[in-house]
Amino acid sequence: MEREFSIEELRILGMRSADALAEALEAGDREAALGFVKRLRREVLSMIRNYAGWEETLLAWVEREREGHDRSEVLAAIEDFDAAPERGGDPSDPAPRWKEEASAIFAALESGDDAATIERARALHDNALLHHDRGMSRVSAILSWIGREAGIEGIQAALGEAMSGDMIGHASFRERAEALTHFTRVHLQPVPLKEDDEKLTFACAICPSGGRMIAAGHYASPRDDLVVKGPHPLTYGRDEIPVYCCHEPIMEIDSIEKTGVPLFVVEPAERLGFETCKTYLYKRPEDIPAKYYERLGLRKPETLNKDESR
């Protein structure tokens, strides 16, 4: 198929927004810089909403589905700040502060103070990354508690609620690609992108969420987050997978149930956290290999309505 994106578009789509902003200002492109400030604002606000919502949904699931247990018990179990200091920190909602800071960045840009614009944008990015890693660690710990208490079925049920959302499988390839790059940049890491005739490939050296956790030792002492044993749809049929990474197959299953096709597919690395995991966004759903359905315990439909699946 004809290429949708230029190499330059893909490069910019995959950049951290604070870095793209700095590059635009260095090139004297103030209009592009304004767009990157807006992009950064959307990303940090999306990130904090995602992790706050994810944590709340999982805790609410425990209270509703696990008789005799409540959120205070779960929080007491995961909030060992000596073992996992990143799970502590300021628990208040940073969104109002970040909105104010984004306004200050806009003001610095409009006043022509490029140095202050870049400095403040990078400070916002770095502060958001701390909150990102806090939320990511807390979610992994809650999922570990659920897995040890309720098994893989509990993980699947709880994640099924936490990760369910509106799917965009019927949108155009460009719309799906832009949505998925936003979703990936919410993790505040660079995202190398490559387009070929059939798909867009996301190939971070280390996954910006689950892979970073593995490399940082979250599944070893003293945190000891849960490794889910397989084979199972939640492990992509592998012998094991870290519990946080189980949200990826859940999202693929949710998309298939709602649209008939996975919005994207993840090809996990052989050595998770140390080698590149790849995410594929196919241009034509009918080109998605059957193996990506089968590893989820599903069967690829023999026919797909091409007009509705693009």
State what percent of residues in the chain have pLDDT above 70: 97
* Domain containing residue 45: 7-294
Number of structural domains, the chain?
1
Whether residue 67 has pLDDT greater than 90: yes
Is residue 28 in a domain? yes
Write a three-state SS string for 161-197: HHCCCCCCCCCCHHHHHHHHHHHHHCCCCCCCEEECC
Is residue 309 in a domain? no
DSSP 46-82: HHHHHHHHHHHHHHHHHHHHSTT--HHHHHHHH--TT
Is residue 310 in a domain? no
Is residue 120 in a domain? yes
| CA distances in angstroms from 193 to 7, 17, 56, 200, listed in the order given | 9, 15, 32, 7
According to the model, what pLDDT value does residue 164 have?
80
| Locus of tokens 């091409």 | 306
Whether residue 310 has pLDDT greater than 70: no
Confidence bin at 167 (pLDDT 50/70/90): low
Kindly state the average pLDDT of the residues 269-289. Answer: 92
Is residue 306 in a domain? no
DSSP state of 88: -
pTM as predicted:
0.94
Is residue 112 in a domain? yes
Confidence bin at 308 (pLDDT 50/70/90): very low
SS3 227: strand
Q: For 7-31, how does the pLDDT look when each residue is reduced to its tens digit (9 = 90+)? A: 999 999 999 999 999 999 999 999 9
Whether residue 118 has pLDDT greater than 60: yes
Is residue 117 in a domain? yes
Token pair of 173, please?
A: 């390839």
